[in-house]
Structure 1
Amino acid sequence: MKAVHFGAGNIGRGFIGKVLHDNGYEITFADVNEEIIDALNRDGKYTVHIAEENGGVYEISGVAGINTAKDAEDLAQAIAEADIITTAVGVNILPIIAKTIAPHLEKRSEGKLLNIIACENAVLATDTLKAAIAAEVGTHAFTNIGFPNSAVDRIVPMQKNENILDVKVEPFYEWVIEADNWMGDDKLDGVNYVPDLMPYIERKLFTVNTGHAAIAYYGKTLGYTSVSEAMQDDEVVVFLRNVLNETTLYLTENYDFTQAEQSQYIDKIIGRFKNPYLSDDLDRVGRGVLRKLGPNDRIIKPLVYLHENGHDHDALSELVVHALKFDNEDDPEQVEMNQIISGKGMTHFLSEHSDLEKELLEEIEAKI
């Protein structure tokens, strides 16, 4: 069995690549990073280290690389032979990946099954990729191709290792895939197939991602620089729990998760954030502030829901304030947000960008 994975970064190699390898796939990583692609082709393997005491060490073999900027013929051949195509490139890059995949789908052998899955930190990312491919070649090329959406969760921090290919990951991972949109009967082990993906997408988004944002934005205001450093401060942990207790109301009222289930999930997530063998830079965790303050993202969507339904939302409102004050001039989105606020004011920014109405705007403004 053969897989093509777009995005040879740490998540691609340490998470998706490992699961595919464990399922017996030969993996071709497609990327523009010449150094990593050359190393993959030179070594044909890399090592995944589990970040915990006496953590496991796993050799991932049977891998190769294709430079998508230079090796068009090799990429066409790999796509033609693939049984599964996955991505971990960032949702904004999917339209570019679509242009790379689309021309080669019709060249595949008749009857050969294929699943294409976008493993991105975004809601229904495979739908985005599918639409972009359809815009290139139409839907007639989709015979025997499944486009299941998925939700992925594994903390893979920025890191520098002696071997450029080796990667450190946390012990926990979750990969959930839409069962109904999967093509064929051969499913992946270590993956949870579900009939309705949205509960898992939003549980992860409004627990793991909202939680990470809370640590980054509040921790930075207290002078911390890393997740593990911030999580040693009880004040940060209390704020984090207050935020996640609020998002729990959204999750339990909209889906079948019980209060007890979500409390256990929160405890697990906080334990992951406290992992002393795995930390991350707060600037990296908090980057992309425009996206994170979007109306359907991790902070604003549950905040608006709680406000409209008369629930307490004080911690989420405070989180907005900390996000507005986040100081990372290396983040282009931070720079853009600061320019908007400097020119037109915070209220204008939150009204236009986050789609907040007057009453919530006044609540947030009172906290600044």
Structure 2
Amino acid sequence: MTAQPGAAVVIGAGSVGIAAVAAPLTAASVPVVLVSHSPAAARCLQAGVRIVEGDAGGASTTTFRPAAVLCSDDVEAVGAAIAAAACVVVAVPGVEDLSLARLLWSGLRRRETPVDVVVCTNVPDEARRLADLVGRLGPTPVGHRFAGALVDQIVTCRMKPVRGLTLRSEGPRRLVVDGAALHGSLPGDSRWASTGDFAGEITRKLCTFSAGHAAAAYVGGLRGHRRVEAALRDPEVELVVREAIREGQAALSATHPVVVTTGPTVALLRRDPLGGSSRHTAELDELVARYANPVLRDTVARVGRDPRRKLARTDRICRPALLALESGGAAYALAVTAAAASVALRADPTTPPELRRASVGELLAHTAQLPLDHEFSRLVAVALDELVRTHSPLAALTALRGTQPYVPSVAMAGSGSRAVVAS
């Protein structure tokens, strides 16, 4: 392949790399060189990828064809593409893979001008770790910059023998990039929102979008639902999802600046001690609608995969719960979510036998490094006992509140949801 000056090289041809990064850049007239993991996948991608995009109001179908597709095994060709690129985007999990670092270094060492390497991640320092790994392989002539980028777009994937690869996605959403780590503007400017508080943006996503999504998957799965859309038609599942988001919002209001996107820049506002109820309610309703998007045909199995990682201290369940408890707030719905996730973890065939037999306290000590007597572990144990006994998330929430009937928050009660209240 002849190198294409001005192209964006996207390493990672998964659903996020294609639908959330490569296809929108192509739509913004930026040529994309896509790097895939295998020759077979590369051949499939060269034939084009069908993308169904939309929401309950309607959907459209397009076919994405990159300017070129390379296999990551062809280090020479990928290196040449990186050497001529306007930017490089890494959209693969596990950036500490040495083969990825070698692939990047093969191109970066040839460049005479600096380039931005954008790393799609949910971890604040993952871009820095990848930069360190590349740096250990040898010097590069100029100073390249590695910046994290937060992907906030739901994409699902289907592979059919006749029609090939089909991705289903909500509408394009801008990638929030760590502006402090960039050299300058990125190609396809409208696709990026720059922030000066990248770690704060990740925390915001984990405590709201990711927490609610996890609740829909784990509590929905426990109730026997296969699709997320169907799970959210279950009033008890919807109740837990909304309250989990609300608990995360309250924790953020108490501990972090409010983050909003204005134009191409993410602006930081003052802390909101009153919780910003109208803004929070609008955000909550939007998130639930996004999860339930019928175009996605999303499954609880996909959203809930890898429960061990999602029960980590810094991830979407324990992170907002610990922030909530540390700030004097509630973490009841998050405890119900964690209890349901522990059921999924025990049912996962890859879970070690000792974790399947572990108590709640022992399990969270392993996944989240919590002391055995931590308050959140106690709440999760109470929730799990009630879920096992009644199979009712509402009963679990009521048990966590003591003998008082469970009453949804004011923000939720005014949101038009189908929430139920214990009698």
The 5-angstrom pairing of residues 68-107 of structure 1 reads 68-69=72-73, 71-91=74-94, 94-107=97-110
In the other structure, the counterpart of 1:247 is 248
In the other structure, the counterpart of 1:211 is 212
When residues 99 and 215 of structure 1 are mapped into structure 2, their CA distance, relative to the original with a 3 A threshold, is: same
How far does residue 359 in structure 1 lie from its aligned partner after superposition? 3.6
Query: Which amino acid in 2 is paired with 1:86?
Result: V
Picking from 35, 39, 44, the partner of 2:40 is 35
Query: In the alignment, does 2:361 pair up with 1:347?
Result: yes
Query: In the alignment, does 2:179 pair up with 1:179?
Result: yes
> Would you say how many aligned residue pairs link Structure 1 and Structure 2?
357
The 5-angstrom pairing of residues 27-176 of structure 1 reads 27-41=32-46, 43=47, 45-52=48-55, 53-69=57-73, 71-91=74-94, 94-108=97-111, 110=112, 112-137=113-138, 140-141=139-140, 143-161=142-160, 162-176=162-176
- Deviations 1:277-305 (Å, cap 9, x if unpaired)? 22212112111111111111111122122
Query: Which amino acid in 1 is paired with 2:7?
Result: K
Q: Gaps spanning 5+ residues in structure 2: where?
A: 1-5, 259-271, 386-423
Q: Is the 8 A contact 1:287 1:331 kept in 2?
A: no
When residues 170 and 238 of structure 1 are mapped into structure 2, their CA distance, relative to the original with a 3 A threshold, is: same
Find the residue that maps to 1:203 and give its secondary structure.
helix
Q: Is the 8 A contact 1:27 1:62 kept in 2?
A: yes
When residues 185 and 32 of structure 1 are mapped into structure 2, their CA distance, relative to the original with a 3 A threshold, is: closer
In the other structure, the counterpart of 1:16 is 21
Query: Which amino acid in 1 is paired with 2:16?
Result: I
How far does residue 240 in structure 1 lie from its aligned partner after superposition? 0.5
When residues 359 and 93 of structure 1 are mapped into structure 2, their CA distance, relative to the original with a 3 A threshold, is: closer
In the other structure, the counterpart of 1:2 is 7
In the other structure, the counterpart of 1:190 is 191
How far does residue 103 in structure 1 lie from its aligned partner after superposition? 3.3
Query: Identity across aligned pairs (percent)?
Result: 22
How far does residue 329 in structure 1 lie from its aligned partner after superposition? 5.2
Picking from 342, 357, 364, the partner of 2:380 is 364
Q: Is the 8 A contact 2:81 2:107 kept in 1?
A: no
In the other structure, the counterpart of 1:296 is 314
User: Take 1:297 and 1:311, find their aligned partners in 2: how far apart are those partners?
Assistant: 18
How far does residue 160 in structure 1 lie from its aligned partner after superposition? 3.2
In the other structure, the counterpart of 2:412 is none
User: Take 2:231 and 2:135, find their aligned partners in 1: how far apart are those partners?
Assistant: 45
Runs of 4+ deviating beyond 4 Å: 92-95, 327-331
Query: Which amino acid in 2 is paired with 1:158?
Result: C
Higher helix share: 1
Q: Is the 8 A contact 1:36 1:165 kept in 2?
A: no
How far does residue 148 in structure 1 lie from its aligned partner after superposition? 1.6
How far does residue 192 in structure 1 lie from its aligned partner after superposition? 0.9
User: Take 1:320 and 1:254, find their aligned partners in 2: how far apart are those partners?
Assistant: 22
Q: Give the TM-score, by structure 2 length.
A: 0.78
Query: In the alignment, does 2:204 pair up with 1:199?
Result: no
Query: Which amino acid in 1 is paired with 2:199?
Result: M
Query: Which amino acid in 1 is paired with 2:59?
Result: G
How far does residue 10 in structure 1 lie from its aligned partner after superposition? 1.8
Query: Which amino acid in 2 is paired with 1:173?
Result: R
When residues 276 and 142 of structure 1 are mapped into structure 2, their CA distance, relative to the original with a 3 A threshold, is: farther
Which segment drifts farther, 245-254 or 345-354? 345-354
Q: Give the TM-score, by structure 1 length.
A: 0.89
Q: Root-mean-square deviation (CA), in Å?
A: 2.3
User: Take 1:135 and 1:272, find their aligned partners in 2: how far apart are those partners?
Assistant: 42
